[in-house]
Amino acid sequence: MPDPILEVINIHKSFGGVRALNGVSIGLLPGEVHALVGENGAGKSTLIRILTGAIQADAGEVHLRGQPFEQITPRKARQLGITAIYQEPALFPDLTVGENIFLSQDRPAVLQRVDWNACERHARQLLDRIGADINPRTPAGRLTMPQQQLVEIAKALGDNASVIIMDEPTASLGDRDAENLFRIVSELRAAGTTMVYISHRFEELYRLADRVTVLRDGQVIETRAMAETTSADLIRLMVGRELASTYPKHDVELGSVALDVRNLTCKRFGVMDVSLAVHHGEIVGLAGLVGSGRTQFAEALFGLAPIDSGDVYVDGRSVLIHSPNDAVRAGLAYLPEDRRRHGVILDMSVEANTTLACLRRISRRGFMRFHAERESAMEFIKRLRIKSPSPETATKNLSGGNQQKVALARWLMTEPRVLILDEPTQGIDVAAKAEIYELIGELARRGLGVLMISSDMPEVLGLSDRIAVMSKGRISGELKRDEANPHAVLELALGHAADGKLK
């Protein structure tokens, strides 16, 4: 076995008495794809931040090509050839794609002019390399989440790094974009680049990774060859126990129609003539490729864009939705795809996030009743089993799965009739996913109507009572639970079947 190109030795890191890493040692071999897995809170993010210079370890050593280095900064990490693609894109929204890519590269000396045409050409080359059809002149703020992720990948490739860390790189990508990423990973590995690949999608790990290291509670549990590891092994090593059922599906007697959408059109978002219904106690999966209009339909339904035509009924009552306030009053709740930008306010406390949509309930004559806020928040912290040191803890300090629960608690507090979930388990670990799935099932058993948008095919197939599939802004067809399979869903997503309507 060759000597490691990058090695961390006995790394320790604590935050305010909480030990995040406890004696972590990992060696990365030249030209390998090394999977790093573990539950949210296992220490993966802390390790990445140490390797990229964002924070310093309390103890331990990091060796690159056999040479130790200390006090690494983000700039020094890039100079040493270590770069990271994070799960949450960090682009400057008011700058163009080309300018964002330029900022990640070595910039010219003071008073030296920038050749913006050359920067744009370089950005276009990087985007073309990963098959991203994105104009470098487009403001980053206009990009979708998948497009932002592709720009981050292009930025990393532009650094010519010898070690690339990828943190959930396909979390927001569709099948086609993910395939482009896999191709790039294979090309980089063939060229000798070492990659740390963090993902909760086991099928990607089996396709790409040579070895896998499992972290749990800040410690390395085991490192082994990927080919010698089963999914059951990974889950057991990650959570320290067996998960009885990945998709806990319970039979629920359906009630009356909770949501009835008829011929909804939103030209601004490219949504055309969409009709679907969701019953009380029913989970309807909304599938489709990236760009099919799933999220745009949900946003229009929730009043984030004007509806040009169509009718919306909640519990048989016609409702007019011109804003999110109208939607909430009508009995709709919407958990968006990007929880860090639109789902929770990271710097606010858990209790403040939880009660944010119900301020009228916990205030009197314009003044907050903080005791009522605490009681309301504690009820949902307990009900959803949110793991937080206290209600006053900043939401940014929680794991991804618990942040998602906080976002979910906020909308459940509005007592909705219909809950719209957009990628509800994106970027969270298998144990947290199981908890979210159980919560969704419990909500359906209590009579809530659930419309779930997901790019995760097993998730859609495992949880949904029915599946509606979108293609080019329209419902291309529907499938009952007993007739749904990956092939049938993909056929409809590609528009190969006649347009249908979900009834």
What pLDDT score does 196 carry?
96
Q: Looking at the domain that runs over 255-331+416-503, which CATH code has it been given?
A: 3.40.50.300
What pLDDT score does 258 carry?
97
Of 307-311, 333-337, 379-383, 469-473, the range with the lowest mean pLDDT is 379-383
The yes-or-no verdict on residue 490 having pLDDT over 70 is yes
Give residues with Cβ within 8 angstroms of 121, minimum separation 6: none
pLDDT digits (tens, 9 = 90+) for 133-184: 899 999 999 988 778 878 888 888 887 789 999 988 887 677 777 888 898 8
- Residue 454 vs residues 271, 343, 423, 457: alpha-carbon distances, Å: 18, 16, 5, 7
| Average of per-residue pLDDT values in the chain | 86
Complete edge-to-edge strand list for the sheet that includes strand 474-480: 332-335, 418-422, 449-453, 283-287, 466-471, 474-480
Residues 346 and 138: their CA atoms lie apart, in Å, by 27
Question: What percent of the chain clears pLDDT 90, i.e. is strictly above it?
Answer: 42
Q: What confidence tier does 186 reach under pLDDT thresholds 50, 70, 90? A: very high
Torsion of CA 317, 321, 327, 329, to 10 degrees: -60
Query: H helices within 31-143, ranges in order?
Result: 44-51, 74-79, 97-103, 116-129
Task: Identify the top-confidence range among 367-376, 381-390, 464-473.
Answer: 464-473
The yes-or-no verdict on residue 393 having pLDDT over 70 is yes
What pLDDT score does 199 carry?
87
Strands (E), 133-282: 163-167, 194-198, 211-216, 219-225, 257-266, 271-279
User: What residues are paired with 468 via a beta bridge?
Assistant: 286, 478
The CB-side HSE value for 89 (13 A sphere, CA atoms) comes to 27
Domain ranges of the chain: 6-239, 255-331+416-503, 347-415
The yes-or-no verdict on residue 107 having pLDDT over 90 is no
Q: What is the pTM of this model?
A: 0.60
CATH superfamily of 6-239: P-loop containing nucleotide triphosphate hydrolases (3.40.50.300)
What pLDDT score does 6 carry?
94
Q: What confidence tier does 239 reach under pLDDT thresholds 50, 70, 90? A: confident
What pLDDT score does 498 carry?
42
**Do the domains 6-239 and 255-331+416-503 sit in the same CATH topology, yes or no?**
yes
Q: What is the 3-state secondary structure (H, E, C) of 222-234?
A: EEEEHHHCCHHHH
CA–chain centroid gap for 400, Å, is: 9
Give residues with Cβ within 8 angstroms of 128, minimum separation 6: none
